[in-house]
Amino acid sequence: MICIPIIANTLDDVLRDMAEASKVADIIEVRLDYIKNPDLKHILEKRTKPVIITNRPCREGGKFEGSEEERIAALKLAIQLHADYVDIEHDSIQHIMETTVHHPPASKTKLIVSYHNFRETPDNLISIYQKLSQCGADIVKIVTYANTITDNIKIYRLLQQAQAPLISFCMGEYGIISRILYKRFGSYLTFAALRKGKESAPGQINIHELLHVYRAQKQEKDTAIYGLIGNPVSHSISPVIHNTLFREMNFNSIYVPFKVDNVADFIREFRELDVKGYSVTIPHKESVLNHLDAIDPMAKKIGAVNTIVNKDGRLVGYNTDCRAAIQALEDINQVSATGAKNDRLKGRHVTLLGAGGAARAIAFGLQERGAQVTIVNRNYERAQSLARDVGCLYREFDNLPEIKTDILINATPVGMFPSVNETPIDKNQLKPDMIVFDTIYNPLETKLLRDAKTQGCKILGGLPMFINQAAAQFELWTGVTPPPELIRKIAYKKLVGE
């Protein structure tokens, strides 16, 4: 079930938001602590969906500033008025239980006993759950703050062990996945904001995204999980691309962003969730290799993985960036001695900016096609090391004007959203006979490409490479090739709203 909290200060706004939320949510949470002089009777009379009444004190992250007696009195009144649910904090539940008001025989109200931790996800969740489940409440709620992605696994384990209905997830950016995957995790419900700015807790995603990107209502216990490992991940368009492909191609699968700091911890802990496949992005494409069970020979040669497939519990790494970039370059670079597509890059002088995961994939692909590659990277030792592995040249940024360049490739994040006015190379170094390829796809046209256009260069943005690699990735996971045109359409809509 999906619950929308009502975050409004006046009765009129509460009733308006309740009506709007009731069209899409299964349950509405009325936050009395936000409302000035709440008319509880009127609010409950106007409900068309089950309602949770909450009156959160400041100590538990709420807004109620009156006395504890007043706060509890409002919750007792909610029970007398037959609210569907009342949420009562774990350290206040005895006030409800001690009185005759609690669960009078005629009351239909279900009691939710809640524990919130805004600092961390403690290790003793099971003992907290056991304590709370002995209070006599109908439903237990345990909400913690995730300081790292693996905190979600603590919540997953708790939900797997719980005997009675339990609402549990992590707050904060690292905890978003526990909110999205609530059915797979086994939580009684999840919360979603009515719209941006109406969040009642950190990390709460909005109902539109939950329903339309993540198709939360279609999620089942056996929905296959896929996801993106990276940091940052919040601006990636991969969740929209892969979730739309899953929907359009009738897969019972979901794709979520995993914000990962420590890839070793992540891979080890998330094996338990049986994630069926991953995309890998900045900065983990190289470091992830050491934590997989097998690596495809090309990915091994490149030394970078951007795709992981779970084959019966064994995590196998692949690289779809290499073929994707070369294909995009061959499509645009029509100059060739023989006319054969495979020869289009032969003998061409390519200057490659960057020596990270993407640069490694592109450098090996170019070398295989017979291009003359020169690596230029901020960290000179890294450029040297990649050039040695590939068998090509390497130079310093200062040497750029002297390097013969037919094709210039940016494989650094310089110019990527939100730093859209940055460029890795001075405009004057771009010459009209060059092809300039920026691997960045957000924005679709970077400052580097805008400069290159004004200098008369032929330009190639990162989108064709992105489409090629996403299609290859989807095929590796599912065995089905998605139509590239569909990926292009979804990406365009997401990036430019067309």
**Residue ranges in contact with ligand NAP by CB under 6 A:** 281-283, 285, 321, 354-359, 377-379, 382, 411-414, 416, 424, 439-441, 462, 465-466, 469
Residue nearest to ligand NAP as judged by C-beta position: 356
Question: Which CB atom, from 51 or from 392, has the smaller least distance to ligand NAP?
Answer: 392
DSSP 8-state secondary structure symbol assigned to residue 200: S
From the candidates 95, 141, 447, 494, give the one annotated as an active-site residue.
141
> Measured between alpha carbons, how far is 78 from 321 in angstroms, rounded to an integer?
57
Q: Is 108 a catalytic residue?
A: no
What letter represents residue 405's amino acid? T
> Measured between alpha carbons, how far is 357 from 286 in angstroms, rounded to an integer?
6
Q: Which residue has the tokens 């009129």?
A: 12
Smallest distance from ligand NAP to CB 402, Å:
19
Q: Is 141 a catalytic residue?
A: yes
Smallest distance from ligand NAP to CB 156, Å:
28
Smallest distance from ligand NAP to CB 228, Å:
12
Question: Which CB atom, from 191 or from 466, has the smaller least distance to ligand NAP?
Answer: 466
Partners of 395 in beta bridges: 376
Smallest distance from ligand NAP to CB 488, Å:
13
Question: Which CB atom, from 168 or from 279, has the smaller least distance to ligand NAP?
Answer: 279
Buried b (16+ CB within 10 A) or exposed e, 158-186: bbeebeebbbbbbbbebbbbbbbbbbbbb
From the candidates 285, 406, 438, 447, give the one annotated as an active-site residue.
285
| Integer Rg of the chain from CA | 27
Is the distance from CB of 413 to CB of 442 less than 8 angstroms?
Answer: no
- Cα–chain-centroid distance for residue 183? 17
Torsion of CA 4, 8, 14, 17, to 10 degrees: -50
Smallest distance from ligand NAP to CB 354, Å:
4
Is the distance from CB of 317 to CB of 337 less than 8 angstroms?
Answer: no
From the candidates 151, 321, 406, 438, give the one annotated as an active-site residue.
321
Question: Which CB atom, from 65 or from 396, has the smaller least distance to ligand NAP?
Answer: 396
* Pairing of the two strands 314-318 and 294-295: parallel
Question: Which CB atom, from 142 or from 465, has the smaller least distance to ligand NAP?
Answer: 465
User: Which residues carry out catalysis?
Assistant: 116, 141, 285, 321
